[in-house]
A and B are shown apart, each in its own frame.
Chain A
Amino acid sequence: MELITPEFGLIFWTGISFLILLFILKKFAWKPILNSVNTREQSIKDALAAAEAAKREMENLTADNERILKEARAERETLLKEAREIKTKMIADAEEDAKVKADKLIANAQAAIETEKKAAISELKAQVANLSLDIAEKVVKAELSNKDKQLKLVEDMLGDAKLN
Chain B
Amino acid sequence: MKTTKFSINRNLLLGAFFLLSIFAVKASSISKEKETTSDDEFDTKELIFHHITDSHSFHIAGDLALPLPIILWTENGLVTFMSSEFHHDIDGKTIVEKNGLKFVNVHEKIYQLEAGASSVAFDAEHHPTNAKKPLNISITKNVFSMFLSMAFILLIFLLSARSYKRSNNNMPSGIGKFMEPIVLFIRDEVAIPNIGEKHYGRYMPFLLTLFFFIWINNVIGLIPFFPFSSNLSGNIAFTVTLALFTFIITLFSSKKYYWKHMLWMPGLPVPMKLFLAPIEFMGMFIKPIALTIRLFANITAGHIIVLSLISLTFIFKNYFVGVGSVVFVVFISVIEVLVVAIQAYIFTMLSALYFGQALEEEH
A contact residues vs B (CB 8 Å cutoff): 2-15, 17-18, 20-22, 24-26, 28-34, 36-37, 39-40, 43
Q: In the complex, A4→B164 CA distance in Å?
A: 43
Q: Which of B138, B172, B236 contacts A4 (CB 8 A)?
A: B236
Q: Which of A4, A10, A33 contacts B176 (CB 8 A)?
A: A33
**Most-contacted residue by chain B among A14, A26, A37 (CB, 10 A):** A14
* CB <8 Å contact, B209 and A26: yes
Q: Quick check: is B353 within 8 A (CB to CB) of the other chain?
A: no
**Most-contacted residue by chain B among A3, A9, A18, A32 (CB, 10 A):** A9
State the interface size on chain B (CB cutoff 8 A): 50
* CB <8 Å contact, A15 and B241: yes
**B128-170 with Cβ < 8 A to chain A:** 135-140, 142-143, 146-147, 150, 153-154, 157-158, 160-161, 164-165, 169-170
Q: Which residues of B contact A18 (CB under 8 A)?
A: 209, 213, 241-242, 245
Min CB distance B334 to A, Å, is 25
Min CB distance B123 to A, Å, is 15
* CB <8 Å contact, B180 and A33: yes
Contact segment of B22-30, B200-208, B276-284, B324-332 = B200-208
Q: Quick check: is B237 within 8 A (CB to CB) of the other chain?
A: yes
**B168-213 with Cβ < 8 A to chain A:** 169-172, 176, 179-180, 183-184, 187, 201, 204-206, 208-209, 213
Return 18 A-B CB contacts under 8 Å, by A number.
A3-B52, A5-B236, A7-B237, A8-B237, A9-B237, A10-B235, A12-B137, A13-B139, A14-B242, A15-B241, A15-B245, A21-B150, A22-B205, A26-B209, A30-B205, A33-B164, A34-B183, A40-B170
User: What is the chain A residue whose CB lies nearest that of B153?
Assistant: A21
Q: Which residues of A contact B147 (CB under 8 A)?
A: 17
**B97-126 with Cβ < 8 A to chain A:** none
Seed contacts A7-B54, A40-B169; 17 additional CB < 8 Å A-B pairs: A2-B53, A3-B53, A7-B235, A9-B136, A10-B235, A10-B241, A18-B209, A25-B154, A25-B205, A25-B208, A28-B157, A30-B204, A33-B179, A33-B180, A34-B187, A37-B183, A40-B171
* CB <8 Å contact, A26 and B205: yes
Q: Quick check: is B348 within 8 A (CB to CB) of the other chain?
A: no
User: What is the chain A residue whose CB lies nearest that of B201?
Assistant: A34
Q: In the complex, A15→B150 CA distance in Å?
A: 13
Q: In the complex, A33→B136 CA distance in Å?
A: 38
Min CB distance B288 to A, Å, is 13
Q: Which of B52, B150, B158, B201 contacts A29 (CB 8 A)?
A: B158
Interface of B is mostly: helix
Q: Which of A6, A14, A24, A30 contacts B154 (CB 8 A)?
A: A24
Q: Which residues of B contact A5 (CB under 8 A)?
A: 236
* CB <8 Å contact, B153 and A22: no
Q: Quick check: is B250 within 8 A (CB to CB) of the other chain?
A: no
Q: Which of A13, A31, A33, A34 contacts B137 (CB 8 A)?
A: A13
Min CB distance A46 to B, Å, is 13
Q: Which residues of A contact B172 (CB under 8 A)?
A: 33, 36
* CB <8 Å contact, A8 and B160: no
Q: In the complex, A6→B150 CA distance in Å?
A: 21
* CB <8 Å contact, A37 and B180: yes
Q: Which of B142, B164, B237 contacts A36 (CB 8 A)?
A: B164
Q: In the complex, A75→B240 CA distance in Å?
A: 84
Q: In the complex, A14→B235 CA distance in Å?
A: 11
* CB <8 Å contact, A3 and B205: no
Q: Quick check: is B300 within 8 A (CB to CB) of the other chain?
A: yes
Q: In the complex, A31→B205 CA distance in Å?
A: 8
Q: Beyond A18-B245, A36-B170, is A3–B236 a contact (Cβ under 8 Å)? A: yes
* CB <8 Å contact, B241 and A7: no
Q: Which of A4, A17, A28 contacts B150 (CB 8 A)?
A: A17
User: What is the chain B residue whose CB lies nearest that of A10?
Assistant: B237
* CB <8 Å contact, B150 and A20: yes
Q: Which residues of B contact A6 (CB under 8 A)?
A: 235-237, 240
